[in-house]
């Protein structure tokens, strides 16, 4: 809901700039906040310590407690502890009642509980936070600096060091006013560190990992630590609960996660697609309003008909449009339905803004649809939106997870399938895809040691294709480590042991997804970074950690249901059963279709012209790490041959060109 920037001078003295005519620190802080002013149009606040070693900056989007008392930075009553918070924290009223006698709350803001919890629990306060957040806390008395990010990375938090100053911010562009000179991290690009790990496309810039925090004591170099991690059951331990009991458990946890996210002092809406995730959220909200008299944001009418749902509407013949299905769901629920038309002209006109704000090149037009939906929500006065992100990653919703589910019998659930039955299902259900994966693996010569460390799951190799670019030959020097190897070696040793000995391959694949591509790309390009361009805060109930802890401990066979007679797999089976009372039969029965934009557009249209302008020899050679002759062919294949893979590759290269130009990135050299 906000944007933050923090500066910590490392060492014993405040850092001095080497630039003779540079802005003073407060000027740099303001310039940094200017770049994310869209994230917080309602208020701005800055604070710098008396010794000049610590500075905090915050721009605010007012959601809970709209009064000036809730503006940030927050300071405790003795001026010892200071904090800036981006996000939404739930259960704050409980902690206000618990800690009200020892902490003097100055506002009703949910975010102020960060200070109260820290003063009461010390560093253990992190485990008490529930919600989507990123924050910086400075304990002036103890000289302790803490930066933390929520468990799934819904909110972003990046850091780098410039001129002996630790810079931490919501978006990387915030570093530019402090003298940061971006350089491509060619090794990270070749190893997909920006996709799977905590690296970015830029040298020396890291993201705080989901469920992690960074800290510094007495201005010393920072350290990174984990405060939370996902857990899965031992695959050999039988599940004793009944299917009906676990179905009810999913339903109750999801309902509660949705309920707490309805609280706001501003209007709340819903992003509705043709899938079961967002449809379940909309259906449960309607149920809470009708049956329990729940209040949706600041709307006290208790009328379902006033709920506003927004849906992307691609061209009907594009193969990507789900607006008709979403409209039928909206009519069934009796809510307001607002389709948001996305034409080729829309995609071309919003292309540059989408990549500038998301800061990650994801090769799909769907992010532009997300940006347009946020703009539509804003035009209707909506400041908060509930979304369906996180369901596929926890309930086995992606088609790519089917192969990994079928690698081993699920011994936790009876009757388990035999190896022969698994092989038969795999050949029938995943044959072509699996063959393509094996071919890719053979071409890439993936080391057997990496396969063993990953327990032979294939989802990583499939995801690595996201960044399969036409690299220049000189970059081969940086390609000695496969992306899959770099990813698994970057995991904690304890996790690697669990992967090999305890976790079912489906759970391993889910873990890998939630730690890499999901927070690094999907939640940036299809989440907070883009939504906040139009001052819209999105809340994903499926990423409530109370819910995910429950779901992680479900048997794999209830996430993906096998039917031997017709050799079919039903993804997200237990979720379908849990939300069946709240969705239409059409949605309940509909197979998973990922939210992806169109890939086929005519020659000489707005997108073709955009691609031709951006993919020029001058622009590609200015990057330094791509091969021009190979890149040049992609545009022709994308529009003349209507090749979707070429379109996606060209689309991503156009995004990288925009990043290079807007960030002023130096040319990569051998």
Could you tell me which residues are annotated as the binding site?
110, 312
| Angstrom distances, CA of residue 108 to CA of 76, 267, 284 | 14, 18, 27
Measure the CA–CA gap between 339 and 359, rounded to whole angstroms: 27
Measure the CA–CA gap between 425 and 203, rounded to whole angstroms: 45
Dihedral (CA of 182, 186, 191, 195) sign: positive
Give, to the nearest 10 degrees, the angle between helix 606-614 and helix 644-663: 60
DSSP letters for 37-94? GGG-BSEEEEEE-TTSSEEEEEEE---S--SGGG-SSEE-TTS-EEEEEEEEESSHHH
* Cα angle value 235/236/239 (rounded, 5°): 80
Q: Which residues on adjacent β-strands are paired with residue 538?
A: 385
Measure the CA–CA gap between 559 and 579, rounded to whole angstroms: 14
- Check if 309 is active-site: no
Residue showing tokens 């994966």: 437
Question: For the chain, first and last CA: distance in Å?
Answer: 41
DSSP letters for 182-210? -BB-HHHHHHTHHHHSSB-SBTT-EEPPT
Helix, strand, or coil (residue 384)? strand
Measure the CA–CA gap between 287 and 267, rounded to whole angstroms: 18
Give, to the nearest 10 degrees, the angle between helix 545-552 and helix 243-260: 170
DSSP letters for 525-546? HTTHHHHGGGT-EEE-GGG-HH
Q: Which of 2, 111, 192, 562 is catalytic?
A: 2
* Surface-to-core class of residue 476, CB atoms within 10 Å of its CB (0-12 exposed, 13-18 middle, 19+ buried): exposed
32 within 8 A of 169, measured Cβ to Cβ: yes
**CB burial readout 479-492, b (16+ within 10 A) else e:** eebbbbbbbbebbe
Helix, strand, or coil (residue 309)? strand
113 within 8 A of 92, measured Cβ to Cβ: yes
Q: How many CB atoms lie within 10 A of CB 15?
A: 20
Half-sphere exposure of residue 38, counting CA atoms within 13 Å on the CB side? 18
Nearest by Cα to 608 from 655, 656, 651, 560: 651
- Give CB contacts under 8 A, 24+ apart, made by 366-370: 366/312, 366/525, 366/526, 366/595, 366/596, 366/597, 367/525, 367/526, 367/530, 368/342, 368/597, 369/312, 369/314, 369/340, 369/342, 369/597, 370/312, 370/525, 370/526, 370/527, 370/530, 370/531
- Give 481's DSSP letter: S
Measure the CA–CA gap between 79 and 95, rounded to whole angstroms: 21
- As annotated, the binding site for ATP includes 312
Measure the CA–CA gap between 86 and 56, rounded to whole angstroms: 12
Cis peptide preceding 73, ω within 30 of 0: yes
- As annotated, the binding site for L-glutamine includes 110
Measure the CA–CA gap between 260 and 436, rounded to whole angstroms: 43
Residues labelled as active-site residues: 2
């Amino acid at each position: 809901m906000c944007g933050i920037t923090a500066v910590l001078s490392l060492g014993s003295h405040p850092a001095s700039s080497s630039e003779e005519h540079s802005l003073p620190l407060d000027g740099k802080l303001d310039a940094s906040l200017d770049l994310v002013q869209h994230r917080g149009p309602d208020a701005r606040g800055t604070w710098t310590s008396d010794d000049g070693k610590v500075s905090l900056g915050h721009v605010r989007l007012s959601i809970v407690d709209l009064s000036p008392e809730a503006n940030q930075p927050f300071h405790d009553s003795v001026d010892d502890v200071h904090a800036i918070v981006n996000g939404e924290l739930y259960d704050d009223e409980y902690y206000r009642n618990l800690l009200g006698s020892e902490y003097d709350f100055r506002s009703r803001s949910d975010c102020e509980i960060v200070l109260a919890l820290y003063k009461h629990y010390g560093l253990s306060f992190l485990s008490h936070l529930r919600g989507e957040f990123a924050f910086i806390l400075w304990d002036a008395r103890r000289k302790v600096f803490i930066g933390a990010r929520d468990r799934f990375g819904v909110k972003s938090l990046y850091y780098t060091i410039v001129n002996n100053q630790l810079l931490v911010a919501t978006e990387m562009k915030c570093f530019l006013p402090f003298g940061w000179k971006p350089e491509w991290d060619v090794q990270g690009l070749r190893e997909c560190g920006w996709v799977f790990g905590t690296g970015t496309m830029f040298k020396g810039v890291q993201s705080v990992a989901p469920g992690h925090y960074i800290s510094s004591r007495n201005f010393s170099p920072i350290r990174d630590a984990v405060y939370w991690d996902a857990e899965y059951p031992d695959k050999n331990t039988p599940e004793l609960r009944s299917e009906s009991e676990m179905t009810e458990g999913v339903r109750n946890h999801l309902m509660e996660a949705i309920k707490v996210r309805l609280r706001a002092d501003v209007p709340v809406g819903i992003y509705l697609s043709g899938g079961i995730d967002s449809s379940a959220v909309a259906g449960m909200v309607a149920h809470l309003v009708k049956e329990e008299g729940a209040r949706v944001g600041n709307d006290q009418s208790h009328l379902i008909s006033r709920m506003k749902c927004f849906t992307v509407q691609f061209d009907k013949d594009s193969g990507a449009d789900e607006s008709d299905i979403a409209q039928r769901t909206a009519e069934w629920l009796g809510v307001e339905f607002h389709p948001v038309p996305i034409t080729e002209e829309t995609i071309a006109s919003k292309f540059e803004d989408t990549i500038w704000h998301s800061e990650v090149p994801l090769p799909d037009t769907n992010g532009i649809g997300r940006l347009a939906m946020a703009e539509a929500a804003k035009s209707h006065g909506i400041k908060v939106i509930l979304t369906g992100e996180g369901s596929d990653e926890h309930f086995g919703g992606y088609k790519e997870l089917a192969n990994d589910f079928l690698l081993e019998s699920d011994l936790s659930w009876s009757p388990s399938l035999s190896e022969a039955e698994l092989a038969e299902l795999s050949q029938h259900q995943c044959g072509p895809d699996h063959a393509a994966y094996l071919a890719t693996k053979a071409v890439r010569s993936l080391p057997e040691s990496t396969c063993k460390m990953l327990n032979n799951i294939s989802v990583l190799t499939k995801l690595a294709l996201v960044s399969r670019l036409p690299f220049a030959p000189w970059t081969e020097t940086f390609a000695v480590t496969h992306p899959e190897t770099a990813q698994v070696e970057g995991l904690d040793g304890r996790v690697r042991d669990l992967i090999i000995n305890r976790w079912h391959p489906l759970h391993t694949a889910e873990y890998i997804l939630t730690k890499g591509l999901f927070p690094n790309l999907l939640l940036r390009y299809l989440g907070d970074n883009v939504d906040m361009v139009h001052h819209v805060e999105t809340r994903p109930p499926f990423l409530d950690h109370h819910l995910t802890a429950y779901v992680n401990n479900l048997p794999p066979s209830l996430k993906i249901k096998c039917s031997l007679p017709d050799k079919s797999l039903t993804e997200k089976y237990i979720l379908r059963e849990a939300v069946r009372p709240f969705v239409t039969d059409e949605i309940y029965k509909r197979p998973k279709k990922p939210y992806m934009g169109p890939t086929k557009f005519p020659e000489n249209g707005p997108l073709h012209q955009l691609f031709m302008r951006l993919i020029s020899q001058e622009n590609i050679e200015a990057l330094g790490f791509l091969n021009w002759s190979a890149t040049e062919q992609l545009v022709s294949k994308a529009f003349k041959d209507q090749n979707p893979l070429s379109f996606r590759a060209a689309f991503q290269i156009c995004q990288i060109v925009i990043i290079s130009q807007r960030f002023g990135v130096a040319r990569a050299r051998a």
